[in-house]
Amino acid sequence: MINFEPTEGDRKILDQVRTEALICRKYARYYDENEHEFPPDELEEAKGKPNVYAMFAGRGESDSGLGVMSMLISAGQTWGDYSVRMHRGAGGLGNAALRAAGTPEQNQKWGDVTLAMAITEPGCGSDPSQVQTTAVLDGDEWVINGEKIFVTTGCRCDGVVVWATVDKSAGRAGIKSFLIEKGTPGFVVAQKEKKLGIRADDTAAFVFTDCRIPRDNLLGGNEEVQQKGSGGFKGVMKTFNMTRPGVAAIGIGMAEAALDFTRDCLTEAGFEIAYGGGLHTAPAVVDKFQRLEAKYEAAMLTILRAAWLSDEGEPNNTEASVCKAKTGTAVREITQGCIEILGPMGISREHLLEKWFRDVRITDIYEGTGEIQRMIIARALCGYTRKELN
């Protein structure tokens, strides 16, 4: 049955997330201003307390699905702060790739370590077919050469899934994923990136120089280069079907924080925020605020839709792009609009609003820009291939 109310069991978890988020928020400004310090793996306040995901044990069939709940938890956590967590979660984007494409042996060997995902290069972002990093088979080893940037959890991961081409002439079909352990000779973490927002976040640049790894470290184990346009690349892209809703959820949590802060300020200033009234009954600021709230609601529902489809085992490729595109736009408009509503107060670093404005900006860029998402959606609508619409 169509229903948008969390169950009592869901609420218990989400309330805990909120409690933790309020604690994390206290550290938000510090780690934003001191971007070269990492937030601790475990906060003082977290000592001896279980991770929120431990609460998933014993949930009933009538409770919301894991995908849906993951979205709400992510949003609930970033409502506190993008980077600071009670307990730093194990796993990175590379772990999602491992689960999606790894062999059982690889999952067993690498499943418990934190894996980053390195795709972007100085000269290639949204078009991964332009990957310049190479992997050459030399005996029983792959030799990796190239540079990667914007690697999330790059400094603190134990290993990384790297996209490299085994055959440049094959285009996208030549791209394979490789598991590379930290400490492998020839693998250097060049620097932590300096950014507009999410400054506390661990984002690194990697350099690989004749970095040799075992032949078995090819993710999924398939060395064969398929013919151009045979669809082999699609498997690689499947990783994004939950990561796109995931980063959308991360963005929407911060947008919600901005709305909550703005609502409190407006209410304190004596503005009544009532619903159901007409155009001439509300002041312009309230009207503007409610428009932003509606954008939040709309974006959140597209995220839940994509996650719910995944929980149901249904394809959600287009929906993942819909929620990513929708949220990428919404969070920018929301945080920019909240600052506009609050005026000079909105830009003061005494409050977190200016930080949320900076932090959400990445939402429409990483995991595929808004433009890429629209391309994917339009292709699906028109039944076009990548070649027909690019």
Partner 1 sequence: MISFKLEEEQEIARDALREFATEVMRPIARECDEAEKISEEFLAQSWELGLVSTQLPEAYGGGGEARSPITNAIILEELAWGDVALAIAALTPATFANAIVDHGSDEQKQAYLPLFCGEAYHAAAIAVNEPTVAFDPSIPRTVAEPKGDGFVISGVKSFVPMGDRASHFLVVARNNGGLDAFIVPRDATGLSVSKNEQNLGLRALPTSTLELERVELPASARLGGAAGCDVRRLLDNSRTALAAAMVGLSRAVLEYAVPYAKEREAFDQAIAQKQGIAFKLADMHIETESTRWLVWKAAAQLEQGIDATRAAHFARSYAAEQSMWIADQGVQVLGGHGFIREHLIELWFRSARTISVLEGTLGI
Q: Which residues contact 350 (CB under 8 A, 6 or more apart)?
A: none
Least distance to partner 1, CB of residue 110, Å: 32
Distance separating alpha carbons of residues 106 and 230, to the nearest angstrom: 25
- Sole window of 14-22, 58-66, 131-139, 214-222 interacting with partner 1 (rule: CB under 8 A): 58-66
Counting contacts by CB under 8 A, is residue 270 touching partner 1?
no
The smaller minimum CB distance to partner 1, of residues 25 and 379, is found at 379
Nearest Cα neighbor of 164 from 193, 183, 137, 189 is: 137
Tell me the HSE value of 119 on the side-chain side, using a 13 A CA sphere. 19
CB-CB contact of 274 with 294 (8 Å)? no
Q: Which residues contact 89 (CB under 8 A, 6 or more apart)?
A: 51
Tokens encoding 197 = 């927002």
Q: Is 367 a catalytic residue?
A: yes
Q: Which residues contact 157 (CB under 8 A, 6 or more apart)?
A: 92, 94, 113, 114, 115, 116, 182
The smaller minimum CB distance to partner 1, of residues 67 and 146, is found at 67
Counting contacts by CB under 8 A, is residue 388 touching partner 1?
yes
Counting contacts by CB under 8 A, is residue 2 touching partner 1?
yes
Distance separating alpha carbons of residues 167 and 163, to the nearest angstrom: 12
Q: How many residues bind partner 1 (CB under 8 A)?
A: 52
Counting contacts by CB under 8 A, is residue 241 touching partner 1?
no
Instruction: Spot the catalytic one: 20, 121, 354, 367.
Output: 367
Counting contacts by CB under 8 A, is residue 58 touching partner 1?
no
Distance separating alpha carbons of residues 259 and 24, to the nearest angstrom: 18
The smaller minimum CB distance to partner 1, of residues 188 and 378, is found at 378
The smaller minimum CB distance to partner 1, of residues 168 and 291, is found at 291
Binding mask 16-55 for partner 1 (x = CB under 8 A): ----------------------------------------
Counting contacts by CB under 8 A, is residue 371 touching partner 1?
yes
Counting contacts by CB under 8 A, is residue 320 touching partner 1?
no
Q: State which amino acid sits at residue 22.
A: L
Q: State which amino acid sits at residue 18.
A: R
Vertex 64 angle, CA 61 and 67, to 5°: 115
CB-CB contact of 148 with 206 (8 Å)? yes
The smaller minimum CB distance to partner 1, of residues 149 and 341, is found at 341
Secondary element (H or E) of residue 178: strand 175-181
Tokens encoding 138 = 């030399």
Counting contacts by CB under 8 A, is residue 15 touching partner 1?
no
Counting contacts by CB under 8 A, is residue 7 touching partner 1?
yes
The smaller minimum CB distance to partner 1, of residues 1 and 57, is found at 1
Of the candidates 88, 326, 355, 358, which one interacts with partner 1 according to CB under 8 A? Answer: 326
Binding mask 294-313 for partner 1 (x = CB under 8 A): x--xxx-xx-xx--xx--x-
CB-CB contact of 29 with 19 (8 Å)? no
The smaller minimum CB distance to partner 1, of residues 14 and 164, is found at 14
3-state class of 209 per DSSP? strand
Least distance to partner 1, CB of residue 72, Å: 8
Give me the residues that bind partner 1 (CB under 8 A), please.
1-7, 10, 62-65, 68, 275-282, 286-287, 290-291, 293-294, 297-299, 301-302, 304-305, 308-309, 312, 319, 322, 325-326, 371, 373-375, 377-378, 381-382, 384, 388-389
Active site residue ranges: 367
